[in-house]
Amino acid sequence: MEVTAHHRLFGGDLKFVRHDSAATGTSMALSVFTPKGEGPHPVLVWLSGLTCTANNFTEKAGAYKKAAELGMIIVAPDTSPRGDGVANDDGYDLGQGAGFYVDATEAPWGPHFQMESYVTKDVLALISEHFPADMTRVGISGHSMGGHGALTLAMNHPHHFKSVSAFAPIASPLNCPWGQKALSAYLGDDQSAWQRHDAAALMAQGKAAPFDDILIDQGLGDQFLESQLKPHLVEAAAASVGQKITVRRHVGYDHSYYFITSFIDDHLAFHAARLKSRI
C-alpha cells in the first residue's frame, strides 16, 4: 500500500492510497478518512457514480466533520480499474469510470472489471490490515451507480455489511438504459444473470431481510429520476415482502454533489446508529 497524499482535518487523518488489487489485476486508488483515537472504529464504504474517481466524494461531499464527531472511518474506492491495458468504451456509461460494481464475465471486460470482488474482498482486507477498523461494524452507501452498488452488495453480502443507504440509486438496472447497457456488456444477454445486480429484484426476493431499514434520498429535480433511477420500483418490491425502507424525496434537489452534501450528515448518523450496536 502506498500513501500518495496525507491531510489532517477535524482531528483525524485523510489518506489517498494506491495499492495492487488481486481482483482487478491493476493498481487501484482510494481514500480513507480515519478519526482521532485508537479505535477500532466502525467503517462506512462509499461507492461513487458514473464518471467519478476516488476523489469526487472525498473532495465534494463534506462528510468528514460529521465522521470525526461519530468516530467513523470512511473509505471511498475508485469506480473501476484503469490504465492503458484496461478495456474501455467511448461512452461515459461503460468501461473505465463505470464498473457498476459487478464481476464481469464477458470479453473484453472480464480480465479486469471485477468490482464486486474488489470492494468485498480487496478493499475490506486492506482496511482491516492497515487501519484501526472494526470489521464487524461496516456499512455501505453510495450515489447513483454507486447507490446501485451499495444496495446490491449489501443484499448479496450481508455477512460483510450491517447497514446500507443510498443517494439517487439506480434502483432497477434491468429496467433502465444505463443498467441494460452495462449489464449486457459485462454479464451477457441472459438477463437471469442480471438479477443479483438489481436492487428491486433482490428486494422482492427478501434479500434485504438482514437490514432493519434502508435509507434512500432522492431529489425531485434530478434529471435522471424518471428515465434511469426509478425509486418507486424498489419501494414496490420492499412493500411486496414487508421490508422497511425509507425513501425521502426532496423538492428541487438534483443529481449533483450539492444534493449529497445537503444530506450526508443524515446518512452518517443513520449508519452510526446501526453500527454502534452491531457485533
What residues act catalytically? 144, 222, 255
C-alpha cell of 123? 478493499
Which alpha helices (H) appear in the chain, and where do they start and end?
A: 55-60, 64-70, 115-117, 124-130, 145-156, 177-187, 199-204, 231-241, 257-276
Strand 133-142 relative to strand 73-77: parallel, antiparallel, unpaired? unpaired
- Please report, for residues 166, 182, 228, 245, the alpha-carbon distance to residue 254 in angstroms, rounded to integers and kept in the order given: 15, 23, 14, 21
d(CA 81, CA 118): 10
DSSP 131-177: S-EEEEEEEEEEBTHHHHHHHHHHHH-TTT-SEEEEES----GGGSH
Q: Taking the CB of residue 214, how many other CB atoms lie within 10 A of it?
A: 25
C-alpha cell of 121? 474482498
d(CA 205, CA 210): 12
Q: Is 92 exposed, middle or buried (0-12, 13-18, 19+ CB in 10 A)?
A: exposed
